[in-house]
Amino acid sequence: MSLKDKKILVGLTGGIACYKIPYLIRSLTKAGADVKVVMTEAATRFITPLTLETVSNNPVAVHMFPAEKFISTRHIDLAEWAELVVIAPATANVLAKISTGICDDLLTTIICATPRPVMIAPAMNPGMWQNPVTQRNVATLRELGYLFVGPEEGDMACEHVGMGRMSEPQKIFEAIQAFFQTSRKKKALKGKKVLVTAGPTREAIDPVRYLSNHSSGKMGYALAASAVKMGAEVTLVSGPATITPQPGVHLVSIETTKELHREVKKYFKGVDCLIMAAAPADFTVVHTKQKKIKRGKGTFELSLEPTVDILKDISKIKKTNQLIVGFALETDDAIANARRKIKEKKLDMIILNQPGPDSGFGTDTNQVTILYKNGRAVDLPVMRKTELADSILEIIAKKL
């Protein structure tokens, strides 16, 4: 893919992998991109600004306040100039700074100021990568929408072997190409209205206890974020979750299955597509106690009754130009149960997943089978829920 006239800002931080970056910049410029480079002071210890100026054919910025040079608001100019910011190599130190909003040099100030997407290629010792603080920082950045390439497993300059090696320049280059290819699809849902549900529901037993499930809401929030990025007007009806929705998402918070049903019914009439990723409780308590139930010596019986089948009810008012996408988490007879749900609930497609180490509730990844109402089934590999959301929304965009 040509990157002609694409504006890419490459940021280098202090790691031995800096020596590989001229190869990345050369690939970018050969593809037609306009590349500018920012280096931290530590990065200049591994490779010279002159080398990067030569391959990028642009001045390299290092200092926030260089001596005898007019800079004005250069950090803002660079932050707004770029269409994509790529940090390679990205050290544990810079990940920590970005995740906490620290701006103590030119590069971190640009990252804080930029309204553009930021792609990060981590590079560090395996112990540093596996450090719980680093993993927490990476999780925070992913949740905020930062893009990651790698790291990989392999030999290190310190003679250790493990996870933390920077992805090769070619792989980073391909990720940049993929980013701009995806950007072309970003308006595929422009003018469309999408309703997404997410998270669990809670059915009160007494004032301090409830029935629920392990749903984290990650899949639903990822779907809402992807739909917004593709230009849709998005309403997200969510049960209790600790995730911050993507800017631009209209969040409606609920707690019970009854409330979820009410809000879905309220918004469904005005949308083009409903994606039912929430995991509503299948049962509710017949008689909720008004006071906390005290521990007793004998057994305690709890009477339950089924909650409303939201999708089955909503399908009754579905218009021919509307799409309904369901989710199914099954532990046995998965395909048969999912096909039955498509038919009973008049779904256009259903996303089937089964609980496991890489899929199901609470995980950052998922492995699903997409089943269509015409009987077609497509197995997808394990991927991050954010990536899966993009794949699902691309399918929906084509159908709409």
Query: Rounded to an integer, what distance in angstroms lies between the CA atom of residue 263 and that of residue 237?
Result: 7
Report how far Cα 56 is from the mean position of its chain's Cα atoms: 31
The number of beta carbons lying within 10 Å of the beta carbon of residue 189 is 25
DSSP characters over 375-387 = S-EEE---EEHHH
Report residue 225 as tokens.
């974020």
DSSP designation for 200: B
Q: In what helix (H) or strand (E) does residue 171 lie, and over which residues does it extend?
A: helix 169-184
Query: Rounded to an integer, what distance in angstroms lies between the CA atom of residue 149 and that of residue 174?
Result: 10
Contacts 24+ apart (CB under 8 A), 145-149: 145/117, 145/225, 145/246, 146/98, 146/117, 146/118, 146/119, 146/120, 147/117, 147/118, 147/119, 147/120, 147/175, 147/179, 148/119, 148/120, 148/121, 148/122, 149/88, 149/119, 149/120, 149/121, 149/175
Report residue 324 as tokens.
């309904």
- Pick the catalytic residue from 18, 103, 112, 158: 158
The number of beta carbons lying within 10 Å of the beta carbon of residue 86 is 28
The helix/strand/coil state of 277 is coil
- Picking from 317, 197, 207, the residue whose alpha carbon sits closest to that of residue 261 is 197
Active site residue 158: yes
Catalytic residue annotation: 158
